[in-house]
Amino acid sequence: MTTFREVARSAPEGAGQRLLDAEVPTVLCLGDSPVPDRLPPLPFSVARRTEVPRAEAFRDGAEAAVGCARPAGPCSFSKEDARHAQDIRRFAASCLRRWGVEEDVVSAAGLIASELFTSELRYGAGSVIRVQLIAGAATFTLAVAGGGPYVPVYPMVEPDEQGRRGLFLVDHLARVHRGYWGLSADGTAWCLLASAGLRAAA
């Protein structure tokens, strides 16, 4: 059975720092596989490396961590873990609505989050998949990382090929919503999207 553990701003001091940087206060842990008490900062968090664009003028952040079983090693996953794609979609949508992002962008971002999570689950090897959202004044960044030494290879598919079209969908949704996406050298998949709702609330 899926268990949810969430640490919000109202939690005791330090409780929200188990997985995250100080800037990112919300933690959602999913899955039956254990998640370590401490994980290193993600490359798109404190380090602010240029490989993964940051939403400007930091406003808020959230992160979900999914403990994954790899029954047959890299690129294997359980059906139970695959079901967490819907949890990630709902997590992203909930955070973005709380930040005032307009509904059409929320829907697109939720779908992008679930597609990037599924790609990492299918082609990665990390025992923990992390999904981070960083909200700025007019844009937000969504990034997914497996956290392991193995860098997943996302196969390109032909336009008429059936299945495995998740990244085509990500590309289309990013373009429609005035954003862009990419894959960093360490395997982090990210997407930056614009939001009139964030800009209006700035």
Tokens 């254990």 identify what position?
34
- pTM for the full model? 0.78
Mean pLDDT, each 10-residue run in order, the chain (202 residues): 30 34 56 61 45 72 86 88 92 92 96 93 87 89 78 60 71 91 83 90 70
Whole-number pLDDT of residue 194: 93
Phi, psi dihedral angles at 61 (to 5 degrees)? -155, 160
Q: How far is it, in rounded angstroms, from Cα 200 to Cα 124?
A: 38
Tokens 């495995």 identify what position?
164
